[in-house]
Structure 1
Amino acid sequence: MAEPRNRYSTVSLILHWLLAALILAQVLLITAHEATEGPLARQFVEIHKASGMLILVLTLVRIGWRIANPALPLPDTMKRWEKLLAGATHILFYVLLIALPLTGWAAVSARGGELSWFGLFDWPLLPIGGGREGYRSLIDIHGVVVKGLYVLIALHVLGALKHQFIDRDNVLHRMIPLIPRRP
């Protein structure tokens, strides 16, 4: 009988941490955009938009990988509600990581702006209109979704810390290679 997996695959780890780094970069880019003016501010927002589309693609890849490679089972010591909360949080992450780029893409499309993907090609705009009003409405929705993502990130980090320091199980070990496995 094969020994059960106790770590996520290398692909899962790369996708998880790459998406985490990109999300952090998005926050830093939009903060830098708001703190500057002129061409530099525009450059920050252009990188933000291109990175958002990369997040969309990587999230879809991650969902496909997750379907083909199901998550590791949660510890038997977890209560049913904890397992339900963990599952719901992960599903909501996927929903929000698709909704954020889509609302940003829709906002740019409504305004009739450009969406260059790191200067390699122009991402096609969605066939929607609305001008500045449509843009503002969609950016407002984008902002609400960002706040939802912040709440999920906080829950995710708090849950990971709870597993590491209170439950003292090996849940965090499965996603962070540097944390040794507890016996």
Structure 2
Amino acid sequence: MSTQANSQLSDATGTPAPSRYTRTAMALHWIIAVLIICNVALGLSADSIPDDWVRLVIDTHKSIGITVLGLALLRILWRFSHRPPPLPAEFPSWERVAAHIAHFLLYLLMIGLPLSGWLHDSAWKDAATHPMRLFNLMPWPRIGYVMSLEPTLKESLHNGFGALHTWLGYALYALLAMHVGGALKHQWIDRKSVLKRMIP
């Protein structure tokens, strides 16, 4: 085995590197992925569903977003304490760098999207009279500082955070397409599967 390959399989202390993600990391990855797909579908359908369904769809979208935020933060904490498996040693350096950048941006979006949506919702002019409930099971607070702002400023922030939320959504679509496309390329073209690292 080459020196480069050996460096991928052990750390500075000689501890063998893991070949797969932990079960907790796998569970968080797939739960977050399913929730994001659901939220994309809900977000895109909001303008085409019957009026009677709009409030339910929007409230569910908000609840899923808050859940993704919590799970994403948990996943980041888990990753700091549990070393992920390395990419195959045969991957060129540019591909490794691109993968790390893509993962960093995905984490950023998994936090930025829910936060921008939460800020957007907190700046809604009717937020005080329409309390938010997480999956209609328990109250969920809005951001008090934003709710207490002067109405004109709050309306401006509502529009601004709404636009930011939309553009971050587009960025997420693009990154998800690249993420899935890259994984399939490694699986079918390079014959160097990275999917098996994230499958129980």
Fold-level match, TM-score > 0.5?
Answer: yes
Question: Do structure 1's residue 61 and structure 2's residue 78 form an aligned pair?
Answer: no
Q: How far did residue 131 of structure 1 move? A: 3.5
Secondary structure of 1:75's aligned partner? coil
Q: How far did residue 103 of structure 1 move? A: 0.4
- Structure 2 portions without partners, runs of 5+: 1-13
Q: How far did residue 137 of structure 1 move? A: 1.4
Q: How far did residue 3 of structure 1 move? A: 6.0
Q: Which residue of 2 aligns with 1:90?
A: 103
Q: Determine if contact 1:50/1:118 at 8 Å carries over to the other structure.
A: yes
* Residue 72 of structure 1, aligned match among 85, 88, 95: 85
Q: Which residue of 2 aligns with 1:174?
A: 197
Secondary structure of 1:35's aligned partner? coil
Secondary structure of 2:108's aligned partner? helix
CA distance in 1, matches of 2:185, 2:54: 39
Q: How far did residue 171 of structure 1 move? A: 1.3
TM-score, normalised to structure 2, is: 0.83
CA offsets per residue over residues 90-144 of structure 1, 9 Å max, x none? 1111100000000000001111523211122222111114343321211100000
CA distance in 2, matches of 1:115, 1:107: 13
Q: How far did residue 38 of structure 1 move? A: 2.4
Q: Which amino acid aligns with 2:193?
A: N
Q: Which residue of 2 aligns with 1:103?
A: 116
* Residue 51 of structure 1, aligned match among 64, 67, 71: 64
Q: Determine if contact 1:33/1:42 at 8 Å carries over to the other structure.
A: no
Q: Determine if contact 1:108/1:115 at 8 Å carries over to the other structure.
A: no
CA distance in 1, matches of 2:178, 2:40: 18
Q: Which amino acid aligns with 2:182?
A: G
Question: Do structure 1's residue 118 and structure 2's residue 118 form an aligned pair?
Answer: no
Q: Determine if contact 2:187/2:195 at 8 Å carries over to the other structure.
A: yes
Q: Which amino acid aligns with 1:21?
A: V
Q: How far did residue 39 of structure 1 move? A: 2.9
Q: Which amino acid aligns with 1:70?
A: R
Question: Do structure 1's residue 144 and structure 2's residue 167 form an aligned pair?
Answer: yes
Q: Which amino acid aligns with 1:109?
A: S
Q: CA RMSD in A?
A: 1.6
CA offsets per residue over residues 162-182 of structure 1, 9 Å max, x none? 1101211131111134xxxxx
Q: How far did residue 31 of structure 1 move? A: 2.6
Question: Do structure 1's residue 154 and structure 2's residue 167 form an aligned pair?
Answer: no
Identity of aligned residues (%): 37
Return 118-127 or 45-54, whichever deviates more: 118-127
Question: If you compute each CA radius of gyration, which structure gives the higher value, 1 or 2?
Answer: 2
Q: Kindly tell me the number of residue pairs found equivalent between the two proteins.
A: 177
